[in-house]
């Protein structure tokens, strides 16, 4: 507390170890290392920083060079943070079946995300990254075989664990594997510095790559040359791609793994939800899976056993996955009953009407009327939207215009631009007098009033709005077939 940092990258690491109090046996000390406390919410922030700074030191990454990597999302999010801070363009390849929250986060951080078909699995997105790197001369991170990935965990994660248990013993360290960087980097240090600590690796029960004992086909570069024969699609995004990474294989070959535990997807979901509801720890599916492995150990361990589980990330990037499938957006029956327990502000009973405002109505002015007339005959801007800056209906229209590349002028009547002498209010009064309509937004095409949000949406669905645009000489994407009503705020969707 109270420390000042020079940049966001200095905050990577030093994540807390927290005791789990309600899920395991009372005589077992079960702990979780919460990697969600990294700045971008996952353990992969360490990887991203380690790989980029290693490449800088070696001269493999030049100033301004584009960075590229294949990722299920967390590595890409971490890389997006690091590249944003250091000034490198970033391209990420990602299979289309990973959660949309991840790709949106990466794009928000300035990265470009190239999706690959789900049918090509993790090896497909990896092959695409290699192809793009070789074609364009970009720096490929190679997270699955890059020793810098493991090295930063040896320097940071492992040392943090040793420090946190310096005054006692640690019996088990439990982790999953994806790139293998955490596994290899931490386990080799624990083997040396805490040899009595057993290393337990979890993997999906229906996709037992390590448990199958079958070898991974591999190219001379260390990259996989084919999907592993034991791979099956599974629930744990970020765990166990369709190949055994070189770093994971290194850990296995060095006898750094004491036990492999298969974890059912249903157990991963349940434990993740239990962590949230009973411990107040918000984490993802892989975290639930790892702790599920720790709970299995706890059931068969003697009293006083100390178990530490790696919880890789936060739950926010799983909103579109089965983890949240049963989480309602509308009120449940119990919540409806709570609402009905008091008389006001209910959906089944209208609230009392608000008292009429006592302020005198805003009147139009010659300046406002001239502004309106000029806007409606502006040949450079045939499509004009009179709007409020943060109105959700206005933003729904903006989304439609953006999707269809429809050029338009937005007159945001409540914005700072129109505040002097209440010009925005006067323009709205002039607009109301002109159209006979008091609601906002109001849309015009070539000076002709179309209506508000729903009127535009209706005309778009039947093709009338597109014809107006063509008649006005407006160029736009004529191939778009989007249902505009899907762009409305989610709270306007039909109530169950």
- Could you give the residue numbers annotated as active site? 44
Provide DSSP, 311-373.
Answer: E-B-GGGGTTSGGGTT--SSPPHHHHHHHHTSSSS-SSSPPPPPPPP-SPPP---HHHHHHHH
Helix axes 453-462, 464-471, angle to 10 degrees: 90
User: Can you tell me which residue has the tokens 């059931």?
Assistant: 299
Task: Quote the tokens at residue 24.
Answer: 């395991």
Q: What residues have CB less than 8 Å from 387, skipping those under 6 apart? A: 394, 397, 410, 411, 412, 413, 440, 441
CA 239/CA 311 separation, integer angstroms = 12
- CA atoms of 257 and 279, how far apart (whole Å): 29
Nearest to 261 by CA among 285, 233, 290, 283: 290
Distance CA 76, CA 103 (A): 8
Checking phi first, is residue 476 left (phi over 0); if not, alpha (psi -120 to 50) or beta?
A: beta
Residue-wise DSSP of 400-457: HHHHTT---EEEETTSGGG-GGGHHHHHHHHHHHHHS--SS-EEEETTEEEESHHHHH
Pick the closest to residue 414 from 437, 390, 384 (CA basis). 390
Burial string for 52-68 (b: 16+ CB within 10 Å, else e) reads bbbbeeeeebeeeebbb
Q: Is the peptide bond before 191 cis (omega within 30 degrees of 0)?
A: no
∠ CA 93-231-251, rounded to 5°? 80
CA 205 to chain CA centroid, nearest Å = 26
DSSP string, 361-376: PP---HHHHHHHHHHH
Rg (CA), the chain: 28
Residues 6+ apart with CB under 8 A from 433: 364
Q: CA–CA separation, 425 vs 431, rounded Å?
A: 10
Q: How far apart are CA 489 and CA 496, in angstroms?
A: 16
Distance, CA of 451 to chain centre: 36
């Amino acid at each position: 507390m109270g420390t000042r940092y020079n940049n966001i990258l200095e905050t990577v690491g030093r994540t807390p170890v927290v005791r789990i109090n309600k899920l395991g046996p009372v005589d077992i000390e079960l702990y979780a290392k919460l990697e969600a406390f990294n700045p971008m919410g996952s353990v992969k922030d360490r990887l991203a920083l380690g790989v980029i700074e290693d490449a800088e030191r070696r001269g493999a990454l030049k100033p301004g060079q584009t960075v590229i990597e294949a990722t299920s999302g967390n590595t890409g999010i971490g890389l997006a943070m690091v590249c944003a801070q250091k000034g490198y363009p970033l391209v990420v390849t990602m299979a289309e079946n990973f959660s949309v929250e991840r790709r949106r986060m990466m794009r928000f951080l300035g990265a470009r995300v190239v999706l690959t078909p789900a049918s090509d699995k993790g090896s497909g997105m990896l092959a695409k990254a290699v192809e793009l790197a070789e074609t364009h001369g970009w720096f490929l991170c190679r997270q699955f075989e890059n020793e810098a990935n493991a090295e930063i965990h040896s320097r940071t994660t492992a040392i943090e664990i040793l420090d946190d248990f310096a005054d006692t013993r640690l019996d088990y360290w439990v982790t999953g594997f994806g790139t293998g960087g955490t596994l290899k980097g931490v386990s080799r240090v624990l083997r040396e510095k805490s040899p009595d600590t057993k290393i337990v690796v979890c993997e999906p029960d229906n996709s037992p790559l390590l448990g199958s004992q079958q070898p991974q086909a591999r190219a001379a570069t260390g990259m996989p040359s084919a999907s592993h024969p034991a791979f099956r699609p599974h629930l744990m995004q970020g765990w166990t791609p369709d190949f055994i990474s070189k770093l994971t294989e290194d850990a296995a070959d060095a006898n750094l793994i004491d036990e492999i535990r298969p974890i059912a997807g249903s157990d991963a979901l349940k434990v993740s939800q239990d962590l949230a509801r009973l411990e107040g720890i918000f984490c993802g599916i892989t975290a639930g899976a790892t702790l599920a492995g720790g709970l299995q150990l706890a059931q068969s361990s003697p009293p006083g056993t100390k178990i530490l589980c790696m919880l890789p990330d936060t739950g926010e990037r799983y909103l579109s996955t089965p983890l949240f499938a049963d989480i309602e957006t509308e009120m449940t029956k119990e919540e409806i009953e709570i609402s009905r327990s008091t008389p006001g502000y209910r959906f089944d009973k209208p609230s009392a009407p608000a008292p009429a405002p006592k302020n005198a109505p805003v009147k139009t002015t010659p300046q406002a009327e001239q502004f309106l007339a000029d806007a409606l005959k502006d040949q450079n801007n045939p499509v004009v939207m009179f709007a409020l800056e943060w109105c959700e209906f206005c933003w729904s229209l903006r989304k439609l215009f953006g999707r269809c590349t429809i050029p338009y002028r937005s007159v945001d009547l409540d914005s700072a631009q129109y505040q002097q002498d209440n010009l925005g209010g006067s323009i709205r009064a002039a607009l109301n007098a002109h159209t006979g309509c008091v609601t906002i937004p109001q849309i015009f095409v070539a000076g002709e009033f179309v209506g508000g949000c729903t009127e535009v949406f209706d005309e778009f669905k039947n093709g009338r709005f597109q014809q107006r645009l063509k008649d006005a000489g407006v160029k736009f994407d004529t191939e778009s077939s989007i249902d505009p009503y899907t762009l409305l705020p989610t709270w306007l969707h039909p109530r169950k």
